[in-house]
Amino acid sequence: MKCVSSRFSSMLLALLILCSPTVHAVTITLGTIEESPQKGIAEFQPLADHLKSQLGIEKHIKFEVVVLSSLIDMKNALKSGIVDIYIDSPLSVENACSGNICDITLRRWKKGVEKYHSVIFSRKDSGINTEQDLVEKTIAFEEPFSTSSFLLPKASLQACCNISLTEKAEGSSGYVFSEDDENTMIWVIRRKIDAGAMSEASYNKLAKKRVKDLHIIHRTITVPRHVVSMRTGMVDEHREMIIELLSNMHKSEAGKSVLKRFKKTVKFDAISEQEKKKIATIAKNL
């Protein structure tokens, strides 16, 4: 009898474990693009932990961070369901979401900034005075997935002036990547390249006393600083809960503490249809 009782107890325990909702917990992933996985996890893990503490225990949801190295990897991860939430600059997100893979749901006030625009600039003595003067010149951008320092100014030149830029090959003109806005500024000042692009806020910060030697050739439209996108196939209940939680984080001390650690984010708030249309329109020129 003991043997039967023991066997029955083991079977019952196994059945309870199999039926336990924690075994079948849903995993929701936050994706980011970063060359260093450690850096990406360090930035996004506090947000993932906060989401888990507020929603995960009750709803049996696990929140994890996925770090990828390129926009194409992010697009594929969203398409395959590996990434559920992607937070980044608007044109990077629009690029990754194309084909109805995901949609923009919120704005992120990263470093306290609601929205921004970019500029293309050169030295005053460069002979470059208009957008058309940039043709067959070398322009420095920061990195391939930066909205302010690549995607937005590149798309803006195409939209306003029908100027299509290609990456520089040996012995030709085109654009290069500096990997940092500070490098871009130094390269322009030292005449290593003809022009550079970045947000106007970065331009004003980095130009300093040399601003008298520079001039702005082109200004882009204004777009949100960062946006939150969610994979189209996510469960509606999960989407709504996360949107509500993110939108109210700035109203609690615990939420504000996490936001501050998340690159000094002030808050998440609603994005208008007009802003989304503006992003989609300029993105068509990429």
Residue range 6-43, pLDDT digits in tens: 454 444 444 444 444 444 589 999 999 998 999 999 99
Rounded (10°) CA dihedral 74, 78, 83, 88: 50
Residue 8: the pLDDT is 43
- Retrieve residue 208's tokens: 């300093």
107 vs 226: CA distance, rounded Å: 6
| pLDDT > 90 in the chain, percent | 85
Span 206-258, pLDDT tens digits: 999 999 999 999 999 999 999 999 999 999 999 999 999 999 999 999 999 99
Q: Which of 111, 30, 121 is nearest to 68 (CA)?
A: 30
Given the structure tokens 């625009």, which residue do they identify? 117
48 vs 33: CA distance, rounded Å: 16
Domain 25-113+225-276 superfamily per CATH: Periplasmic binding protein-like II (3.40.190.10)
Residue 2: the pLDDT is 39
Residue 4: the pLDDT is 39
CA distance from start to end of the chain: 74
Residue 36: the pLDDT is 92
Over the chain, what is the mean pLDDT?
A: 91
1 confidence band (pLDDT: 50, 70, 90): very low
Right CATH for 118-221 from 3.30.450.90, 3.40.50.2000, 3.40.190.10, 3.30.110.70:
3.40.190.10
271 confidence band (pLDDT: 50, 70, 90): very high
Note whether 25-113+225-276 and 118-221 share their fold: yes
Span 151-207, pLDDT tens digits: 999 999 999 999 989 998 876 778 999 999 999 999 999 999 999 999 999 999 999
Domain parsing of the chain, residue ranges: 25-113+225-276, 118-221
56 confidence band (pLDDT: 50, 70, 90): confident
What's the rounded mean pLDDT across residues 278-286? 92
- Retrieve residue 223's tokens: 């777009």
Given the structure tokens 């504000």, which residue do they identify? 256
pTM of the model: 0.84
Span 87-100, pLDDT tens digits: 999 999 999 999 99
Span 109-163, pLDDT tens digits: 999 999 999 999 999 999 999 999 999 999 999 999 899 999 999 999 999 999 9
Strand partners, 218: 120
- Retrieve residue 270's tokens: 């609603």
Residue 282: the pLDDT is 94
Residue 13: the pLDDT is 43
Residue 116: the pLDDT is 96
